[in-house]
Amino acid sequence: MFNVDGDRLLLTHYCDAGNRPRMVGKVSPDGKTVEFEFLDVSGSTQYGHMQHVVFNFIDSDHHTELWEFAMADGKKEGGLLDLRRTK
């Protein structure tokens, strides 16, 4: 879920890990990339939490999302989604 809070762009991730991390976004000068950094989290972090994501808008039919999850032991894992509109 995205929302504007004053002069900040916020993302709240409603996670299967049972928590809701919030991240603050910054838009690149060309407007094609939005990078979100961890702000805070509600709920248990027993299983870890999402802490970083980058959205890259390639064109009106294609974008990528690079997600990073912080495990409870401090290790990080993630994945890249490459999403394309079908016609």
Domain total in the chain: 1
Partner residues linked to 36 by β-bridges: 25, 53
**How confident is the model over 23-54, as pLDDT tens digits?**
999 999 999 999 999 999 999 999 999 999 99
Residues 78, 10: Cα–Cα separation, whole Å: 20
**10 three-state secondary structure:** strand
pLDDT at 50: 96
Partner residues linked to 45 by β-bridges: none
- State the pLDDT confidence band at 66, using cuts at 50, 70 and 90: very high
Range of the domain at 44: 2-84
pLDDT at 87: 83
Q: How many CA atoms lie within 13 A of 82 on its CB side?
A: 0
CATH of the domain at 44: 2.40.128.20
**How confident is the model over 75-86, as pLDDT tens digits?**
999 999 999 999
pLDDT at 26: 97
